[in-house]
């Protein structure tokens, strides 16, 4: 029986290892190539993620929007209400087990994010007994010096971070597995550093502010912690990079910050670990005076951070100090000047208009970002992706069991406005792989490869050979488009799109999005969307969001023939808003416009104009479907359509 158990266990272990290896195989080591983050194939990767704030470190406003405080102060409230230390620790263990689970990571992935940032508290790398000594300071601040003395003894006795089963490692291992299963990277972020990296007590659970810089033992401990983390994950490609110290703030000068980062970088590199390393400057991770790349001994695979809250979304406005990089233009200038990647490690906590504009601005400059935060407590919608209903832990110990229930994924409430403003979207898996299709733009005209002799356009009235595209499987959920034996290229958004590539590399791969309204969109290698440019100029792949010109209808070519353009196209919902069909239309024949009616009292108004803008005919209609006769003369006409709230223009070709 024992032998059978051993064999079964070995078999199950082999399956588990194989599953992990299979999931990990989808991800490759990220490195810096000049100012770009690239994978092992040299493909540029734009990291768009979510910070898991509040999970391993509670910040005051996340626990209660009406009040702040440190995590240790929340523990003290429970102690003062008669809750034992053992019960408090049990509560926090349950908190960690329920606040983020695989269901949460699966949901984040479903929204289109490709990474998460894991904000870690250094105390989770202490043993239970060591953490109890830290908790004693929460009970009585007079115990602080004893805690520092204990840390010194543990450090000198080499009893810090030596247990492979520490809570911090357990959590990292779990999150890496969950994320890899979704082809997502993880950023390991030391959010609460030993001794507190600033005077902002909430973000570091500070017992005494700025003691990381005041007491050498805390800096020694920080270096040793990263040595242990690096030793464990040195070969783990699921880790995007190490965020060495979150948000130094109100440090009197930058040289001490530089010197600790120099030690940390050297310690990691001494172990042969080439993971990307994030540098965070003073002023909540934004100021890099005396911290430019040339000031460090090891300058390869560094990435610079900015945190963007409550400031302009302008891409041209600059800060007077070029090393203060939370403004977008300063980030771009810093990236170009020093040829290093930049990444917005935190941004959010604002209204949805600002959030949407911020994401669009960052995308337009090719800057990756991480939304802060995933979920936090509130009675209604907030700037997190989800909110947790009250009661608040700060209301008293009686809330403990209810709080633990409310933080579970199934009981959290989606903040749909915030999600709509920031979520990158998830590519559909329903692309017509292996089929030959046509693409019809919002203007009713068809996309042409132009036989690869010039930039692509969306201005053809019919679908002939140049307007046919074979959809190929590029792997990892991406597709290729081929016409006349050549591949379509996004040109990485730097110039008009072409269809002249003999092979498919990164620029020739696209994410296929089903918009849910009978249209699809294509996202290029640069993270931007393909635009038809309404047929008015060559097509581009440089739009940060999906709007009308970034939507395409498609249909499959039937055998060796193309579905006739003069009928309602195959695979097109004839009830889709904005559809004009048939288009082209025979002169004098009827054609139909499908309009989104604003309300029953507002008639649909259609004005038919020639290209000079002269009105040829006008029609009013009380229905959402308008059928009217085409002009008796051939040519291109403009249809100005109003639904009582909005107006838009369509192009009609009369043959």
Encode 163-182 in three state secondary structure.
CCCCHHHHHHHHHHHHHHCC
DSSP 297: S
How confident is the model at residue 637, as a pLDDT? 76
How many C-alpha atoms does 243 have within 13 Å on its Cβ side? 31
- Determine which helix (DSSP H) or strand (DSSP E) holds 524, and give its type and residue range: none
User: Contact, 212 vs 196, CB < 8 A?
Assistant: yes
Strand partners, 266: none
Tell me the two tokens of residue 14: 């082999």
Dist. CA 146–CA 260, nearest whole Å: 25
Q: What pTM was estimated for this model as a whole?
A: 0.68
Tell me the two tokens of residue 360: 């669009």
Calculate Rg over the CA atoms of the chain.
Answer: 29
Between helix 2-24 and helix 167-180 the angle, nearest 10°, is: 60
Mean pLDDT, consecutive 10-residue stretches, the chain (655 aa), reads: 39 38 64 96 92 97 90 97 98 98 92 95 98 98 98 98 97 97 96 97 95 98 98 98 98 98 98 98 98 98 98 96 98 98 97 93 93 97 96 96 96 90 76 90 94 95 91 82 93 94 90 79 84 96 82 76 32 47 69 59 71 71 63 74 68 77
Phi, psi of 189, rounded to the nearest 5 degrees? -120, 115
How many C-alpha atoms does 110 have within 13 Å on its Cβ side? 8
User: Contact, 176 vs 52, CB < 8 A?
Assistant: no
Phi-psi region of 474 (alpha: psi -120 to 50; beta: other; left: phi over 0): alpha
Tell me the two tokens of residue 521: 């969109």
DSSP 282: H
Sheet holding 615-621, edge to edge: 615-621, 604-609, 635-642, 647-654
The residue with tokens 């597995």 is: 177
How confident is the model at residue 569, as a pLDDT? 36
Phi, psi of 395, rounded to the nearest 5 degrees? -75, -20
Dihedral angle over CA of 101, 105, 110, 111, nearest 10? 110
- Closest Cα to residue 521, out of 418, 433, 435, 442? 442
The residue with tokens 């951070």 is: 305
């Amino acid at each position: 029986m024992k032998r059978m158990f051993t064999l079964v266990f070995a078999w199950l272990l082999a399956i588990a290892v194989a599953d992990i290896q299979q999931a990990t195989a989808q991800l490759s080591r990220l490195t810096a190539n000049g100012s770009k983050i690239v994978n092992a194939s040299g493909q540029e990767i734009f990291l768009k993620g979510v910070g898991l704030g509040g999970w391993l470190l509670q910040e005051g406003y996340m626990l209660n929007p009406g009040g702040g405080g440190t995590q240790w102060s929340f523990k003290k409230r429970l102690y003062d209400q008669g809750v034992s230390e053992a019960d408090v620790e049990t509560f926090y263990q349950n908190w960690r087990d329920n606040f983020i689970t695989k269901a949460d990571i699966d949901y984040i992935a479903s929204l289109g994010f490709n990474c998460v940032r894991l904000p870690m508290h250094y105390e989770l790398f202490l043993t239970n007994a060591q953490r109890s000594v830290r908790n004693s300071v929460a009970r009585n601040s007079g115990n602080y010096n004893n805690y520092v003395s204990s840390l010194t003894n543990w450090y000198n006795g080499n009893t810090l971070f030596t247990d492979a089963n520490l809570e911090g490692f357990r959590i990292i291992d779990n999150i890496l597995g969950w994320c890899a299963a979704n082809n997502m990277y993880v950023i390991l972020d030391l959010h609460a550093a030993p001794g507190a990296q600033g005077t902002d007590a909430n973000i570091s659970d500070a017992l005494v502010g700025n003691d990381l810089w005041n007491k050498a033992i805390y800096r020694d401990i920080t270096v040793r912690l990263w040595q242990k983390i690096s030793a464990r994950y040195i070969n783990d490609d699921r880790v995007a990079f190490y965020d060495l110290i979150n948000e130094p703030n109100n440090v009197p000068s930058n040289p001490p910050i530089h010197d600790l980062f120099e030690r940390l970088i050297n310690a990691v590199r001494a172990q042969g670990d080439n993971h990307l390393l994030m540098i965070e400057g003073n002023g909540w991770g934004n100021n890099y005076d005396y911290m430019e790349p040339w000031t460090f001994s090891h300058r390869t695979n560094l990435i610079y951070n900015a945190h963007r809250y409550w400031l302009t979304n302008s891409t041209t406005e600059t800060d007077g100090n070029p090393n203060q990089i939370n403004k977008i233009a300063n980030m771009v200038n810093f990236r170009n000047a020093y040829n290093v990647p930049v990444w917005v490690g935190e941004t959010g906590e604002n209204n949805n208009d600002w959030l949407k504009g911020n994401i669009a601005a960052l995308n337009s400059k090719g800057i990756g970002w991480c939304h802060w935060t995933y979920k936090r407590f509130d009675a209604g919608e907030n700037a997190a992706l989800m909110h947790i209903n009250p009661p608040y832990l700060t209301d008293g110990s009686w809330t403990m069991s209810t709080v633990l229930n409310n933080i579970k994924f199934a009981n959290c409430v989606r903040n749909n406005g915030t999600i709509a403003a920031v979520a990158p979207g998830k590519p559909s898996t329903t692309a017509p792989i292996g089929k030959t299709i046509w693409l019809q733009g919002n203007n009713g005209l068809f996309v042409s490869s132009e036989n690869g002799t010039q930039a692509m356009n969306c201005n053809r009235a019919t679908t002939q050979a140049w307007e046919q595209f074979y959809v190929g499987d590029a792997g990892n959920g991406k597709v290729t488009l081929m016409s006349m034996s050549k591949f379509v290229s996004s040109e990485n958004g730097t110039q008009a799109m072409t269809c002249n590539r003999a092979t498919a590399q990164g620029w020739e791969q696209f994410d296929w999005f089903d918009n849910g309204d009978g249209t699809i969109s294509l996202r290029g290698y640069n993270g931007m969307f393909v635009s038809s440019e309404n047929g008015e100029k060559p097509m581009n792949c440089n739009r940060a969001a999906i709007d009308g010109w970034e939507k395409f209808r498609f249909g499959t070519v039937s055998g060796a023939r193309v579905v006739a353009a003069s009928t309602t196209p195959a695979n097109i919902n004839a009830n889709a808003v904005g559809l004009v069909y048939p288009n082209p239309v025979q002169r004098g024949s009827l054609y139909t416009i499908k309009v989104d009616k604003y309300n029953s009292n507002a008639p649909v108004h259609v004005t038919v104009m020639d290209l000079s803008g002269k009105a040829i005919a006008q029609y009013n209609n009380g229905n959402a479907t308008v059928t009217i006769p085409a002009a008796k003369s051939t040519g291109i006409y403009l249809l100005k359509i109003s639904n009582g709230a909005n107006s838009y223009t369509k192009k009609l070709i009369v043959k």
